[in-house]
Amino acid sequence: MVGVGGSRSERGGWLPVAALLLVSAAWGVHSVVGVALERQLSPLQLTVARFSIGALLYTPLLPRLRRLPRSALRQLAVTGVLWAVLFPLFFYESLRYISPVESVLVINTSPLIAALLGRIFLQEKLRTAQAVGLLIGFAGVGVAVAGSWSASGSLLGLLLIALASATFAGYTLSARSLVGRLPVVEMVAAISIVGALELWTITLATGNAGLVVEGVIRLNTSGWIELGYVAIVVSTLSYVLYGYGLSHSHSSSAAALAFYPQVIFTALAQLAWFGTGIGWLTAVSAVLILGGVVVSRTSSRKPGISRFRRGSRSGAPV
């Protein structure tokens, strides 16, 4: 495989590509499964259940997390709140009002928002390609908003998913300081465990612990299968495959394979699961948003083999 922007062959042949495409499919189907799960669970119940199971699955990695310096604990706590608390609550709540395809499209603006936030708060230089990508991508969001202008529920959903995208962008910036200290899987494990503890702290403090437990216990067979998919496949196994793909691919091409095809898998799953296609305004929005992200990455880093320990500047997807 040829790395982005260079001719150096990447290790592993087709296996990393297959792994990253499986990741893209798993994450793309996530929003469709989330809609199905919300027939039985509220966004809070789903979020707490997802990250609680994920934290339990990651506990075998606890001995390897001891290498994390104490100075990083505050950053880890902030990152956990952004990714395991705020982002999923906004994300799952939005699925009550908008389609899975629309949710994935707006989430794809998070790299653009991260670049903008980095420019505002971290004084990171905003390249011309990034600026152009921002304009194109947000034009796509504008098209989505225009298509939903007459439906207040849809506008609420777009607002919620925009907050989710902004929160995910904040997570991306926060996670950058952790990427150099832990490999990707260990970093995700640490954030998941800390995030689960934060979720339970909030749940207990608000008196919703019994409601969460009751909702999970009452799940039917299909609900348990769907929850298992979200907690095991989306939150755990996918990151092992993602880490493998990162360790054998250029970081830019790995991110592209994991992120860009997601909307295709989401659209196919939405059609198969609910029999719902996408309208022409959504298609135009998809072209603009994904095009903006692609343009913003045209001046990315020099080619080379990414190391598993470095992780991805894109952060961990949904």
pLDDT given for residue 89 in this prediction: 95
Query: How confident is the model over 7-36, as pLDDT tens digits?
Result: 333 455 778 888 888 988 999 899 999 999
Q: Is residue 181 one of the residues assigned to a domain?
A: yes
Q: Is residue 203 one of the residues assigned to a domain?
A: yes
pLDDT given for residue 135 in this prediction: 76
307: its two tokens: 């190391």
Between the CA of residue 27 and those of 10, 21, 48, 60, 310, what are the distances in Å? Answer: 24, 10, 18, 24, 22
CA distance 14 to 183: 23
Mean pLDDT of 152-164: 83
CB 28 within 8 A of CB 264: yes
CA distance 177 to 189: 16
Task: Average the pLDDT over each of 93-107, 168-182, 230-244 and give the range with the smallest value.
Answer: 168-182
Mean pLDDT of 298-313: 44
Q: Is residue 271 one of the residues assigned to a domain?
A: yes
Average pLDDT, the chain: 78
Residue 62 structural domain? 14-296
Q: Which residue has the tokens 């991805």?
A: 312
Q: Is residue 77 one of the residues assigned to a domain?
A: yes
CA distance 71 to 75: 8
Is residue 2 classed as helix, strand or coil in its secondary structure?
strand
CB 227 within 8 A of CB 61: no
Q: Is residue 5 one of the residues assigned to a domain?
A: no
Q: Which residue has the tokens 């936030």?
A: 117
CB 265 within 8 A of CB 110: no
Q: Does 65 have pLDDT greater than 70? A: yes
CA distance 227 to 3: 36
Q: Is residue 35 one of the residues assigned to a domain?
A: yes
pLDDT given for residue 200 in this prediction: 97
Q: Is residue 3 one of the residues assigned to a domain?
A: no
CA dihedral 242, 20, 5, 187 (to 10 degrees): -10
Higher pLDDT, 20 or 254: 20
Query: How confident is the model over 265-292, as pLDDT tens digits?
Result: 888 888 888 877 767 767 777 777 777 7
CA dihedral 139, 145, 150, 155 (to 10 degrees): -160
Task: Average the pLDDT over each of 25-34, 51-60, 207-216, 279-288 and give the range with the smallest value.
Answer: 279-288
Q: Is residue 317 one of the residues assigned to a domain?
A: no
Higher pLDDT, 296 or 163: 163
Task: Average the pLDDT over each of 102-116, 186-200, 209-223 and give the range with the smallest value.
Answer: 102-116
- Total count of domains within the chain: 1
Percent helix, strand, coil in the chain, to 5, is 75, 0, 25
Mean pLDDT of 94-118: 80
pTM above 0.95, yes or no: no
CA distance 284 to 135: 15
Task: Average the pLDDT over each of 27-31, 132-136, 151-155, 195-199 and give the range with the smallest value.
Answer: 151-155
